[in-house]
Amino acid sequence: MKNSADSFSDINQVLGLDRQSASRKSVRFVVAAVVVLGVIAAAVGFLKSRNSTVIQFKTAVARRGDLTVIVTATGTLQPVNQVDVGTEVSGTIKTVEADYNDRVKVGQVLARLDTEKLEAQVLQSQATLESIEARLVDAQATVIEARDNLERFKRVREMSGGKVPSQKEYDNADATLKRASSSEATLKAQISEAKWKLSIDQTNLSRAVIRSPINGVVLKRQVEPGQTVAASLQTPVLFTIAENLAQMEVQVDVDEADVAQVKVGQQASFTVDGYPERTFSAVVKQVRYGPETVQGVVTYKTLLSVDNSDLALRPGMTATANITVKRTANVMLVPNVALRFSPPVAEERARTTGSLISRLFPRPPPASKSRDTGDAKGKQQRIYVLRDGQPSPISVTTGSTDGIMTEITGGDITAGAEVVTDIISASP
């Protein structure tokens, strides 16, 4: 067996197989070394780039200025006094004597109903009244006769000492008088009822002529000649009249979160789509207590008085109103974004003593901690002022805000201070 192994080794040396195996091992080692060096170089470059990133802060200047707080609401323009004119009488429209945009006066005829049926009812009521009055005359004569007869029986009875007439005859005469008196009273009541019925029919006849109750302008006409109107259950609206278009009001819906700030007498301005480049002035004249809820949103109707002397505004226009609820002059102001800024927690850098694996695969940075906003009731908040390139916290007391700037009513901050509003990361 030893001789055979020696022979096999001699054959490998002759063929050069040992040298080829050694050469392959050398090549594999070189390739592995190059790969490891490349990975190390990439990791070192990545770590250097991370360590070279600097943080810059975006700032704004705290300043003194005027602050105007407004509440925005939308609504529609309406006349101050608007009347719907209808009819209490059913019938057929005979004539229409007013049209859209017509100026009308109190008592002016707007329309007329066909009065044939109403006139017939008046005549019938008059005839009924006259008939009852005639029957009353007859009843009154009967009363007189019965009373005279009873008086005669009384005298005869006194003269005869109570012997004549008999008690039965006397009682019959007394009963006859009472029945006659009762008939008279009944007819008088029927006359009162007939007069009342005649008065109603005459009133209905007079209401067949529809007149304007106010001085104003016709906004709507909802009737045509020949149209039948039925007023049995609900009074039909025939005309809508606005009393004075020179004085109008904007009815806006103020959100429940803002209604506490809106007061009577505050100044307001509004715009309408019909005049996009024009701003109209208004004054708050009423804030209603009754809520209006639409799709879960609670609002309160607020009325703004508007001078419309040039008649540019028209009823029904959609208005967007800005109500000035507060004005303050020469107060310290900072942007609202400064009150929302919170710096991130500084990340602890890995030391050179750490392992290569920990530097190649670092842990994710910790989440930023939310800052303390202080007492919400006292409106205590914290802002950050840039000092020596780093944000420094300052506690301040906030006041009113217009949505962009906030009033600072207390705190160690002066005009011109750079307050931090955001973070900008940049590489040199």
Q: Please give the pLDDT value at position 346.
A: 47
Strand partners, 5: none
Judge contact between 93 and 229, C-beta under 8 A. yes
Q: Is the pLDDT of residue 168 over 50?
A: yes
Residue partners of 257: CB distance under 8 A and separation at least 6: none
What number is the average pLDDT over the span 84-104?
94
Q: Please give the pLDDT value at position 379.
A: 75
Q: Please give the pLDDT value at position 253.
A: 96
Q: Which CATH number fits domain 85-111+212-240: 2.40.50.100, 3.30.1180.20, 2.40.37.10, 2.70.98.10?
A: 2.40.50.100
β-strands 390-401, 275-294 pairing: unpaired
Lowest mean pLDDT among 145-149, 326-330, 389-393: 389-393
Confidence label for 195 from pLDDT (cuts 50, 70 and 90)? very high
Residue partners of 107: CB distance under 8 A and separation at least 6: 211, 212
Q: Is the pLDDT of residue 375 over 70?
A: no
Residue 128 φ then ψ, to 5°: -60, -40
What is the residue whose two structure tokens read 């009731």? 377
**Percent of the chain topping pLDDT 90:** 63
Confidence label for 56 from pLDDT (cuts 50, 70 and 90)? confident
Tens digits of per-residue pLDDT, 123-162?
999 999 999 999 999 999 999 999 999 999 899 888 888 7
What number is the average pLDDT over the span 89-95?
93
Dihedral-angle region of residue 416 (phi above 0 means left; psi in -120 to 50 means alpha; beta otherwise) = left
Confidence label for 423 from pLDDT (cuts 50, 70 and 90)? confident
CATH T-level fold of 70-80+241-328:
Elongation Factor Tu (Ef-tu); domain 3 (2.40.30)
What number is the average pLDDT over the span 71-94?
94
Q: Please give the pLDDT value at position 105.
A: 95
133-137 long-range contacts, CB within 8 A, separation 24+ = 133/191, 135/187, 136/184, 136/187, 136/188, 136/191
Would you say how long the chain is, in residues? 428
Residue 365: CB atoms within 10 Å: 11
Confidence label for 45 from pLDDT (cuts 50, 70 and 90)? low
Q: Is the pLDDT of residue 388 over 90?
A: no
CATH T-level fold of 56-64+332-426:
2.40.420
Q: Please name which of 129, 139, 245 lies closest in space to residue 184, comparing C-alpha atoms.
A: 139
Q: Please name which of 105, 84, 116 lies closest in space to residue 208, comparing C-alpha atoms.
A: 116
CA distance linking residue 49 with residue 55, whole number of Å: 13
* Alpha-carbon distance values, 182 to 174, 176, 210, 424 (Å): 13, 10, 44, 108
Q: Please give the pLDDT value at position 165.
A: 86
**Percent of the chain topping pLDDT 70:** 79
Tokens found for residue 190: 């029927």
Residue 365 φ then ψ, to 5°: -65, 145
Higher model confidence: residue 299 or residue 374?
A: 299
Lowest mean pLDDT among 34-43, 198-207, 307-316: 34-43
CA distance linking residue 342 with residue 421, whole number of Å: 9
Q: Is 162 helix (H, G, I), strand (E, B) or coil?
A: coil
Average pLDDT of the chain to the nearest whole number: 84
